[in-house]
A and B are shown apart, each in its own frame.
Chain A
Amino acid sequence: MTESLLLKPDRKFVESIVTSGGGDLKKCFQCATCSVVCELSTSRTPFPRKEMAWAQWGLKDKLFADPDIWRCYQCNDCSTKCPRGARPGDVLAAVREQAVKHYAVPHFLGVWVNQIKRLPLLILIPVILLAVALVARPTLEQAFAFGPPHGFYAEMVPHWLLIGLFTFFTGLAFLGAVVGVMRFWRAMAKADLLADQSDNMVGFVPSVMRTVQSIFSHAKFGKCGTEAPRRWAHILAFYGFLALFATTVWAVIDMYINPRFFGIDSMYPFGMMHPIKILANVGAVLLIVGCYRAIRDRIRRQAEDGGSTSFDWIFVWLLLAVGVTGAVTEILRLIAEPTGAAVPLYTAYSVYFVHLVLVFGLLVYLPYSKFAHIVYRTTALVYAERSGRTREVRLLEAGAATSMRVAESGGQTVNSD
């Protein structure tokens, strides 16, 4: 018998869910239609009914320690089937936003990053940092021998300066994310321990493998009924971002690791037909198309049910802006570099500067924005695999497949138990 749970009804939290996209939360009367349609619901976890009940009472500790809120891809089957219009899918999105804020280190960034009114300040920070870096550049160049700049834009901001600056701040953000993830993991483990559900553990490595496989295949997205088109937007943006991230990493290796440690000459800047360049350009196109589709779908949905919040909008617009400014930067280089004229040059530099500011925002604010789903969702998926949560669903699917085969062969379905 488990201990009684002392409820601490939290109106403030309920109101925060209501104002951040879960406005219909209170309409829920706990009929469990959502749990019937949701494939994440198992016999031991009626998802998302229990989350709706917790959210109605403002039991945030329960919600923040719940991996299931991150296993939801907001297919919104529950929202469309809900007989009372409580839109559990949207409520869960709002809960995830609150979870990101809750685990944010430092906490204030979690709050600031998603407030429209803080946007100027948030932009100002990288602008100032870059400006300071440019001012400090001559001094640093004298102190360290970094070698000649690699190409057109490096004349403005050399890569070593960018790498130093971005690595440092991204590293700080990364540390914050690591702390958040660890707290999240501990909270989930503690909740399971209290609920007496910490048996059934699966190995860590297989859990990670399954998670990675699931992320790369976007298989879960494929099961989203109501919002199936989102799968393609996400696939495009995901692989686009991945390609750009990989080519950026490769460029750093090419410029500073290969010549120094392996004696291979830097090939930077890559020609247009270089495989890395092709990959980068393809990545950029995928990212832009993916973001465009995501925004278009969101606007369409907005007209129907108004489900998107600034948390959603800031992130997706930022990602699109990074993609677009990156592409424009490249095009302007192709125009400006041969002429050497001043106007194209400074236009190109300006756009590049904007691009850098946006990239800074994307990477450094990652753990505090919607982008944080990369870390929290992945953590939750690994935890879900590890704690055996996915087992019942897998067994059910296998069972369904078996019984279907049995039915097709004309035999009787036999309960494997």
Chain B
Amino acid sequence: MDKKVAVYICQGCDIGSSLDVEALSTVATDECDAALCRDHECLCGEAGRELITQDIEGGANAVVVAGCSPRFMPDAFAFEGCQVERVNLREHVVWSHEPNDEDTQMLAADYLRMGIVRAQKAELPEPFEEEIDKTILVVGGGVTGMEAAVNAAGAGYDVVLVEKEAELGGWSAKFAKTFPHRSPYRDPQPIPVADRITEVEGHDRITVHTGTTIEGISGQPGQFDVSLRSNGTTTACRAGAIVQATGWKPYDASRLDHLGYGRCPNVITNVQMEELIALGEIKRPSDGKAARRIAFVQCAGSRDQEHLPYCSGVCCRVSIKQALLAREFDAESEAYVLYKDIRSPGQYEDFYRRAQEDTGIFFTKANVVGVEESGDHNLLVEAEDTLLGGKIQVEADLVVLATGMVPVAADGEGLRRYADAKAVVEKGEAGGQLDAAKQTVEDLAHLEGTAILNLDYRQGPDLPGFKYDFPDSHFICFPYETRRTGIYAAGCVRAPNDSQASREDGAGAALKAIQSVDLLSRGAAVHPRWGDTSYPEFFLQRCTQCKRCTEECPFGTLNEDVKGTPQPNPTRCRRCGICMGACPERIISFKDYSVEIVSSMIKSVEIPDEFEEKPRLLGLLCENDAYPALDTAGLKRIQHSAYIRFIPVRCLGSVNIVWVADALSRGFDGILLIGCKSGDDYQCHFIRGSELMGTRSDNIREKLKQLALEEERVRLEQLPITDWDKLPQIINEFAEEIEEIGMNPFKGF
């Protein structure tokens, strides 16, 4: 399609008074071959928009709007069927640089050149449209799963609910009472789970499969082919999105030998205590006698680096509930609660107060160091760091260990490593690789048979575990999201929750799943590139099967054939472009974002010669955090060096090394790459973008060495969006450093 590029320069918001707009027009039309260039005092207004609409009707099919940041007025500059490029002359030029200055004018001209080149090279994305199934598969029939099912079904979506146990209800169906969820938050209350089960089982849109496991899930969101296994028979169904609500299991108390579990018959877990409570009386396992002195050891294995480093958030309230119920059963009994901190958030403080009122329930802060038997299977609990003064011992008939919650999730990536290693061992190839593989098989043998979703994904059959093995994407902006598009974690598999919070999770995840299938049906991406209809295309004739793209994709988008050629699954994709950054053959591109487009933009920048003493720096900015941070700095009129030219990138992980090479050989003096925070508490919207860039920068250093250039010419920075005020300083310091190093000797070649 022939491009007819129309350029519009807005004069509003100080742009007209700070720049020579006429000179910019000349750049657009004479130098960059734009079909036309107009300016207007307020482009986003009615008249301005009218100007553009008329030109589009007159045949313009690509529009370049030079004005404010693309983060502002997106609706004003959206024209159906017409490609629109925004050039940020406001925040990044006139509000952050000296007005009517030679360097500012050069900066604006370069941004305009880059924008026009982009408009010329990019194409309007065509959505990937295939038949999308909107059925929602809910895995797990506990409170969370049932809530997700009821909510999704209530919103008009078909639901397939799979539960591996014979009955629905999960833990909640096994427990007699829970702590109160409503005012006055004083007494344990029954769990209304039976009603929910009836509702789920009777719902027209919900198909319940109990006693069923998942044999396999292939395909991609909107087109998942699910095979279910129940009593030796396999049934197939199709689903569009998945809610994983597989819940929790108690922490393995047999690892808590120091607390007497396994050693002393009268040391039990809080889950076992629930079983006793369900029977209506608290009897000692050793002799069946009534337990009159019950010691609760809080944080048994929780908030402990050796065991579970986290707080499960419910154990304190569970123990308080159990103490109250035990006292209700037997007024002569006493409960001793030994805690690190009582965590009873919000209104649950009243529940804690309720237990405190009872003179038969004793609380003390303590770090329990051991539990020993003292004859007749009685127990002696030893604790230190109490406020009672020094070490203490408490005698008890029964000790309840308040163990924490462990997610019922499979380690998808571990399972993949295990499968790969097993394959190597089976092949039996000689060499060091074989020994390493044998070791891996041994180390990961415990994962055998743990798979839950059995996804046919190259990167593993289950969700990748993250912090503490919870498969949540672990980023506060995206609740329920996981690192697999269209699969959402909810309830205790996502994070330790009480049943109330689990229900909220179930509803939330159902909405996420609905949002996902609806967007898919329009060929659009889910969060964070919400609504993006572009998707990566592979020029497979040139693929060398290096597998970098299949390995590096954070979302498991790509499968491989036997040779290792990537097999795209567009609806699994979140359009970050990490595969594009990874590909050494540069065969992966989006219609509106490609190696070629960005390279052309880099090359469009005018590089003054060495003697003008005007260095040129290239900045590749992550558009999620760093770009808005620079906008904010501009809004606050914080000035930065006029020698740098920024290009927004979808993710730092999408930066292809060739851009760096292109920039350096073109004569740029330095390159600044700014991405999101990586590490354990990463803020990267695509999980590992800046981390990957970190590893790729080793290759960059290599490249610099080949070119006999200083390493300092390329700098990688990580910037949380909240540090916007530091960004101009980072830019200026980098500019100063490059000036000290001197000009790039490749200028003018």
Q: CB within 8 Å of B: which residues of A?
A: 2-7, 9, 11, 14-15, 18, 26-27, 29-30, 46, 49-50, 53-54, 56-57, 59, 62, 84, 195
Determine, out of B149-157, B182-190, B352-360, the stretch whose residues face the partner at the interface. Answer: B352-360
Instruction: State A286–B353 Cα separation when bound (angstroms).
Output: 45
Q: Are A53 and B390 in contact (CB under 8 A)?
A: no
Identify the closest chain A residue to B356 (Cβ).
A26
| A57 near B362: Cβ-Cβ < 8 Å | yes
The 4 closest A-B pairs by CB, nearest first: A4-B391, A6-B393, A53-B387, A2-B390
- Report whether B359 and A11 are in contact in the complex, using a CB–CB cutoff of 8 Å: yes
Known contacts A9-B362, A27-B353, A27-B356, A50 near B387 by CB under 8 Å: yes
A5 touches B393 (CB 8 A): yes
* Interface status of B128 (Cβ within 8 A of chain A): no
Q: Given A18-B359, A30-B387, A57-B362, answer yes or no on A7-B334 (Cβ-Cβ < 8 Å).
A: no
A26 & B334 in contact (Cβ 8 Å cutoff): no
Q: Is B394 an interface residue (CB 8 A)?
A: yes
Nearest CB on B from A85, distance (A): 10
Please report which residues of chain B, range 339-360, place their CB below 8 angstroms from some CB of chain A when the two chains form the complex: 342, 352-353, 356-360
**B388 part of interface (Cβ distance < 8 Å):** yes
- Size of the chain B interface, CB-CB below 8 angstroms: 25
Known: A9-B334, A50-B387. A4 touches B359 (CB 8 A): no
CB-defined contacts of A14 to chain B, threshold 8 Å: 359
User: Cα distance A30–B362 when bound, in Å?
Assistant: 12
A4 cross-chain contacts in B, Cβ below 8 A: 382, 390-393
Q: Is the CB of A11 within 8 A of B388?
A: no
| Chain B residues engaging chain A, CB cutoff 8 angstroms | 334, 336, 342, 352-353, 356-360, 362-365, 382, 386-395
**Which of A5, A18, A30 is in CB contact (< 8 Å) with B392?**
A5
**How far is the CB of B396 from the nearest CB of chain A, in Å?**
10
Which residues does chain A contribute within 8 Å of B382, judged by CB atoms?
A: 4
Q: How far is the CA of A46 from the CA of B393 in the complex (A)?
A: 21
Q: How far is the CA of A84 from the CA of B349 in the complex (A)?
A: 11
Residue contact B391 to A9, C-beta cutoff 8 Å: no
What is the distance, in angstroms, from B738's C-beta to the closest C-beta of chain A? 47
- Residues from chain A with Cβ under 8 Å of B392 in the complex: 4-7
Q: Look across to chain A and name the residue whose beta carbon is closest to the beta carbon of B391.
A: A4
CA gap between A205 and B293 in the complex, in Å: 48
Query: Which residues of chain A are within 8 angstroms of B364 by Cβ–Cβ distance?
Result: 30, 53, 56-57
CA distance A3 to B356 in the complex (A): 28
The answer to whether residues A5 and B357 also contact, given A29-B342, A30-B365, A57-B364 and a CB cut-off of 8 A, is no
Taken together as a complex, chains A and B put the C-alpha atoms of A3 and B386 apart, in Å, by: 14
Residues of B within 8 A of A7 (CB): 336, 388, 392-395
B342, B356, B360, most chain A CB atoms within 10 A: B356
Pair B357/A59 contact, Cβ less than 8 Å: no
| A19 CB → nearest B CB, Å | 10
**Residues A57 and B388 in contact in the complex (CB < 8 Å), given A9-B336, A27-B356, A30-B365:** yes
Q: How far apart are the CA atoms of A85 and B395 in the complex, in Å?
A: 30
User: How far, in whole Å, are A26 and B357 apart by their CA atoms in the complex?
Assistant: 6
Q: How far is the CA of A29 from the CA of B387 in the complex (A)?
A: 11
Interface residues of B, dominant DSSP: mixed
What would 20 A/B residue contacts be, using CB atoms closer than 8 Å?
A3-B390, A5-B390, A5-B392, A6-B392, A6-B395, A7-B394, A11-B359, A14-B359, A18-B359, A26-B359, A27-B353, A29-B342, A30-B387, A49-B387, A53-B364, A53-B386, A53-B387, A53-B388, A57-B388, A84-B353
Please indicate the chain A residues that have their CB under 8 angstroms from the CB of B360 in the complex: 11
Q: How far does the alpha carbon of A97 sit from the alpha carbon of B533 in the complex, in Å? A: 80
Q: Give CA–CA (A9, B334) in the complex, Å.
A: 9
Bound complex: CA of A258 vs CA of B720, how far in Å? 95
The chain A residue with its CB closest to the CB of B382 is: A4
Among the interface residues B365, B389, B395, which one has the most CB atoms of the partner chain A within 10 A? B389
Q: How far is the CA of A3 from the CA of B387 in the complex (A)?
A: 15
- Residues on A with C-beta less than 8 A from B389 are 5, 50, 62, 195
Contact of A56 among B352, B363, B390, B391 (CB under 8 A): B363
**Residues of chain B contacted by A9 (CB below 8 angstroms):** 334, 336, 362, 394
Chain A residues, Cβ within 8 Å of B393? 4-7
> Considering the chains assembled together, what is the distance between the CA atoms of A18 and B395 in angstroms?
24
A30 to B387, CA, bound (A): 8
Q: Which of B334, B336, B364 has the most CB of A within 10 A?
A: B364
In the complex, the chain B residue whose C-beta lies closest to that of A2 is B390
A4-B391, A7-B395, A26-B358 known; 16 other A-B pairs, CB under 8 Å? Answer: A6-B393, A7-B388, A9-B336, A11-B334, A14-B359, A15-B359, A18-B359, A27-B356, A27-B357, A29-B342, A29-B352, A29-B363, A30-B387, A53-B386, A53-B388, A56-B363
A7 to B389, CA, bound (A): 11
Chain A residues positioned under 8 Å from B336 (CB to CB): 7, 9
CA distance A204 to B740 in the complex (A): 79
Contacting pair A2 B359 (CB below 8 A): no
> Roughly how many angstroms separate A54 CA and B390 CA in the complex, as a whole number?
12
CB-defined contacts of B353 to chain A, threshold 8 Å: 27, 84
User: Which residue, of B352, B386, B388, B391, has the highest number of chain A Cβ atoms within 10 A?
Assistant: B388
By a CB distance below 8 angstroms, the chain B residues around A53 are 364, 386-388
Residue of A nearest to B361 (CB): A26
Who on chain B is nearest to A30 by CB?
B387
CA distance A119 to B483 in the complex (A): 78
Contacts of A195 in B (CB 8 A): 389-390
Q: How far is the CA of A14 from the CA of B352 in the complex (A)?
A: 18
Q: How far is the CB of A98 from chain B (nearest CB, A)?
A: 15
Min distance, Cβ B382 to any Cβ of chain A, angstroms: 6
Chain A residues within 8 Å of B390, by CB: 2-5, 195
B-side contacts of A29, CB under 8 Å: 342, 352, 356, 363
Which residues of chain B are near A50, meaning CB under 8 Å? 387-389
In chain B, what residue has the closest Cβ to A46?
A: B387
Chain A residues closer than 8 Å to B342, beta-carbon distance: 29
Interface centre among A18, A57, A62 (most CB of B within 10 A): A57
By a CB distance below 8 angstroms, the chain B residues around A5 are 388-393
A149–B352 CA distance with the chains assembled, in angstroms: 70
A residues less than 8 Å from B357 (CB atoms): 26-27
Q: How far is A217 from B393 in the complex, measured between Cα atoms in Å? A: 44
Chain B residue, CB-CB nearest to A28 = B356
User: Within the assembled complex, what's the spacing in Å between the Cα atoms of A9 and B364?
Assistant: 11
* Min C-beta distance of B428 to chain A, whole Å: 59
Minimal beta-carbon separation of A406 from chain B (angstroms): 35
Are B391 and A2 in touch, CB under 8 angstroms?
yes
B164 vs chain A, min Cβ distance (A): 42
Q: Chain A's nearest CB lies how many Å from the CB of B355?
A: 9
Which chain A residue has the least Cβ–Cβ distance from B353? A27
Q: Is the CB of A56 within 8 A of B362?
A: yes
Question: A87 CB to closest chain B CB, in angstroms?
Answer: 14
Which residue of A has the minimal Cβ distance to B332?
Answer: A11
CA distance A30 to B389 in the complex (A): 13
Distance between Cα atoms of A15 and B359 in the complex (Å): 7
CA distance A195 to B358 in the complex (A): 31
What is the minimal beta-carbon distance from A31 to any residue of chain B, in angstroms? Answer: 10
Smallest CB separation, B374 vs chain A (Å): 10
On chain B, the residues within 8 Å of A18 by CB distance are 359
Which residue of chain A has its CB nearest to the CB of B336? A9
A-chain residues with CB within 8 Å of residue B388 when the two chains form the complex: 5, 7, 50, 53-54, 57, 59
Quick one: closest B residue to A9, CB to CB? B362
- For B381, give the chain A residue with the smallest CB separation: A7
Nearest CB of chain A from residue B161's CB, rounded to whole Å: 43
- In the bound assembly, the distance between CA atoms of A56 and B395 in angstroms comes to 17
Query: Once the chains are docked, how many angstroms separate the CA of A26 from the CA of B364?
Result: 11
A62 to chain B, nearest CB (A): 8
* A156 to B569 alpha-carbon distance, docked (Å): 116
Residues of chain A within 8 A of B365, CB atoms compared: 30
By a CB distance below 8 angstroms, the chain B residues around A46 are: 387
Chain A residue numbers with a CB within 8 Å of B386 are 53
For residue A11, give the distance in angstroms from its CB to the closest CB of chain B.
5
B364 to chain A, nearest CB (A): 6
Instruction: State how many angstroms separate the Cβ of B185 from the closest Cβ of chain A.
Output: 16
In the complex, what distance in Å separates the CA atom of A357 from the CA atom of B564?
108
